[in-house]
Structure formats: structure tokens, C-alpha cells
């Protein structure tokens, strides 16, 4: 049988309330009693029953990570960070994918979101893009009164968020390409539902304008962050007479940048000699393709960690505070100076 608080109390010769006090580090226990109870608990290998504790406190000690079809490279880092923060607070992480892409209407999205959240016995929710920008999801969360932290570039609906400055990062990456002599720079946009996608494009455009270089419509292609969309976008950008081709392509994430490198390979275009390529995120993928990807390092792990930390904090006043983390331009083999 599992050891219970009663077993510990009996063996220690105290009431269960005292055991409870010791285990929860509550005050008002004689130091000697505390030591004794601790020793007995260790000896008996006692661990409190979470269901019982949860029932008494109406907490679950569970945090949910909710995501919608992200690339595994991205979500695995968020997840890792979230788990680390959970462990430190003795929480566990529950993972819940949701598929809202097929949902046509707002009402449909609300319904799908409820199906997941209604039965989810958690103390808090971490929302990843694009769900963190979805009005329907945010509305349901609010209605249900579930604590949540958004992983997103900007504050919304007074919900706390953890993110980074996508606009500036894209600005700096573009500046880097410009500094290497590139002017005909192609850009592949991310999924329209992700607020970061718009910000990355904005940063790109601002850098171009600042440098006095026109953004050519034909050099901007629409993607959706998936590898497949990157293939299609790359084909659009590269299937033109050589003199009209971009000398560099800035893809809004690493998966699409990997696609550009693949398509270039298929078309016999040498990367980086004839085409520089850069991405965004610095997921593990960036280092396992050839040439390795110049990209913006997002602190993805840390985002997951901070978001979760926020959720498990004792203080319940987590409305509205947002954290902006640092990024870094990672220069690798996929970009070279224009000859």
C-alpha cells in the first residue's frame, strides 16, 4: 500500500496536521518536532497524494502547454523550458495540441477550444503562437477564468506575455544582409495569423527603407512558416531570369529557410556563393542543414521557462506584466558577402 500522511503521523507520534505543517513548511512547529517528522517521512518514503491535496486546495499542480501545429523544433524547446520551471515548483506539464486551422468561424473556434479546456484540470495555461493571438481562445480562457501566459511579442487583453522584439531583430538581420552588399533581398513572410510574422516583415521593410533600398513586391513571397510553404515561396522567388533573382533571401523562420536551401539545390543555385539565405528562430534545424543557417536566435527555451515561472508563482497578481527577452544574430555559413 501507498504510505499516507496518517502512517507518518502515527509513526512520528503526532497528529496529521503537524505532519502537514512540516511538509508544507508552515510556521509554528517546534524545530525538534519538525526534524523528527521529516526523518520519519524520509524513512517511510512518504510523498503526499496529489489528488487529495488537490481536492483540499482546489489546485491541480498541473500546467498545460497548448499549441497548434508548430514545428517540432520550436515546441520542443518551449516544452523543455516549461518543464524545467515546473520541476522547480513541483508541478507537472501536460501537453495539449489543438487544431484550429480547420475552424472556419469564430464560434467554431470557441467550441473546439472549450472541448479541450473544459476538461483540463490545470492551474495555468501556456499559450504558444498562433493560439496566443487567437481571439476565440483568449475569450474562452477568460470566461473559464484560467490563468494563462501568452508567448507572444506584444501584450494583449491585459494578459501577461513573454516574447521578444521581432521587429528589431528582423531589422538588424536585414541590416546585416545590407552590410554584406546585398540589395536585391527576397523576403518570405510567415503565417498571417501570427503577430510575429507581421512584425518581422515590418522590421525588414524598415531596414530597407532606412538604407534607401526599395522593397520590390516581386521579391516578397507569402509563406506560412511550414517547410512546404517555403518550398513554394522559394520557387516563386527563384524561377525568374538570373538578373532578376534576389542575391539573398530572408525567410521568416528556419524551416522556410531550409526550404530555400533545398530549392536552390534542386535548381543548381549555389548557397551561399550565388544566393545567401537566412532564417529566424535558431531552432536545432539551423545547425543540421548544410550550409548551416545564419539566423536570429530566439531565446525559445527561456520563453517557455519564464512563462511557466510566471504561472507557478505564488502571487496571483500576474495581470498584464510582460517580459521582453533578448535575441542575437547568429552568423553561419549560409550568408556571404556579395561579390
CA nearest neighbour of 264 among 253, 248, 286, 284? 248
Q: Which residue number, 31 or 118, has a Cβ lying nearer to a second copy?
A: 118
> If 0-12 CB within 10 Å is exposed, 13-18 middle and 19+ buried, where does residue 85 land?
buried
Cβ-Cβ contacts under 8 Å for 311 (sequence gap 6 or more):
63, 123, 124, 125, 126, 147, 148, 149, 318
Stretch that binds a second copy, among 78-86, 156-164, 205-213, 296-304 (CB under 8 A): 78-86
Is the distance from CB of 307 to CB of 162 less than 8 angstroms?
Answer: yes
Chosen residue from 17, 42, 51, 240 binding a second copy by CB under 8 A: 51
Site string for a second copy, 228-267 (x = CB under 8 A): ---------------------------x--xx-xxxxxx-
Q: In what order do the strands lie in the sheet with 248-251?
A: 220-222, 185-189, 248-251, 276-278
Q: What, of a second copy, DNA, none, does residue 28 touch, CB below 5 to 8 Å by kind? A: DNA
By CB neighbour count within 10 A (0-12 exposed, 13-18 middle, 19+ buried), where does 145 fall? Answer: exposed
**157, 192, 288, 338: residue in contact with a second copy (rule CB under 8 A):** 288
The alpha helices in the chain, defined as continuous H runs, are 5-12, 16-23, 31-43, 50-57, 72-88, 106-117, 135-144, 166-179, 195-210, 227-238, 254-267, 285-288, 300-312
| Residue ranges in contact with DNA by CB under 7 A | 2, 4-6, 14-18, 20-21, 23-24, 27-31, 33, 46, 48-49, 52-53, 55-58
Taking the complex as a whole, the smallest distance from the CB of residue 97 to a second copy amounts, in Å, to: 6
18 binds, among DNA, a second copy, none (CB under 5 to 8 A by kind): DNA
Question: Would you report the helix, strand and coil content of the chain in percent, each value rounded to 5?
Answer: 45, 15, 40
How far is Cα 282 from Cα 263, in angstroms, rounded to an integer?
20
Among DNA, a second copy, none, what does residue 287 contact (CB within 5–8 Å per kind)?
Answer: a second copy
Partner in contact with 329, chosen from DNA, a second copy, none, beta carbon below 5 to 8 Å by kind: none
Indicate which of DNA, a second copy, none lies near residue 24 (CB less than 5 to 8 Å, by partner kind): DNA
CB 184 within 8 A of CB 216: yes
Minimum CB–partner distance for residue 19 and a second copy (Å): 17
Residue 29 touches which of DNA, a second copy, none (CB < 5 to 8 A by kind)? DNA
The residues of the shown chain that bind a second copy, judged by CB under 8 A, are: 2, 45, 47, 49-52, 54-55, 58, 60, 62, 71-73, 75-77, 79-80, 83, 90, 92-97, 118-121, 227, 255, 258-259, 261-266, 284-285, 287-292
Amino acid at each position: 500500500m501507498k504510505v499516507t500522511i496518517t502512517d507518518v503521523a502515527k509513526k512520528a507520534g503526532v497528529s496529521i496536521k503537524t505532519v502537514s505543517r512540516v511538509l508544507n513548511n508552515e510556521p509554528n512547529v517546534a524545530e525538534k518536532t519538525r526534524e523528527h517528522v521529516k526523518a520519519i517521512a524520509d524513512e517511510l518514503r512518504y510523498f503526499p497524494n496529489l489528488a487529495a491535496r488537490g481536492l483540499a486546495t482546489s489546485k491541480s499542480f498541473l500546467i498545460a502547454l497548448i499549441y497548434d501545429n508548430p514545428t517540432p523544433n520550436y515546441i520542443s524547446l518551449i516544452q523543455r523550458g516549461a518543464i524545467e520551471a515546473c520541476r522547480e515548483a513541483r508541478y507537472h506539464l501536460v501537453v495539449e495540441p489543438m487544431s484550429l486551422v480547420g475552424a472556419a468561424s469564430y464560434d467554431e473556434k470557441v467550441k473546439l477550444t472549450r472541448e479541450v479546456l473544459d476538461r483540463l484540470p490545470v492551474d495555468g495555461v501556456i499559450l504558444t503562437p498562433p493560439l496566443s493571438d487567437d481571439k476565440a481562445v483568449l475569450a474562452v480562457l477568460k470566461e473559464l477564468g484560467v490563468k494563462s501566459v501568452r508567448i507572444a511579442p506584444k501584450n494583449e487583453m491585459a494578459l501577461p506575455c513573454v516574447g521578444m522584439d521581432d521587429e528589431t531583430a528582423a531589422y538588424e538581420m536585414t541590416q546585416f544582409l545590407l552590410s554584406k552588399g546585398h540589395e536585391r533581398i527576397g523576403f518570405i513572410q510567415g503565417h498571417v495569423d501570427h503577430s510575429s510574422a507581421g512584425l518581422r516583415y515590418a522590421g525588414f521593410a524598415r531596414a530597407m527603407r532606412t538604407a534607401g533600398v526599395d522593397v520590390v513586391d516581386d521579391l516578397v513571397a507569402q509563406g506560412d512558416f511550414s517547410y512546404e510553404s517555403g518550398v513554394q515561396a522559394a520557387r516563386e522567388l527563384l524561377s525568374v531570369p538570373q538578373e532578376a533573382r534576389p542575391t539573398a533571401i530572408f525567410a521568416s523562420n528556419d524551416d522556410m529557410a531550409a526550404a530555400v536551401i533545398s530549392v536552390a539545390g534542386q535548381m543548381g543555385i549555389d548557397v551561399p556563393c550565388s544566393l545567401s539565405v537566412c532564417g529566424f528562430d535558431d531552432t536545432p534545424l539551423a545547425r543540421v542543414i548544410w550550409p548551416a543557417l545564419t539566423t536570429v536566435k530566439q531565446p525559445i527555451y527561456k520563453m517557455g521557462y519564464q512563462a511557466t515561472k510566471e504561472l507557478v508563482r505564488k502571487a496571483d497578481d500576474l495581470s498584464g506584466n510582460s517580459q521582453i527577452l533578448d535575441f542575437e544574430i547568429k552568423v553561419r555559413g549560409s550568408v556571404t558577402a556579395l561579390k
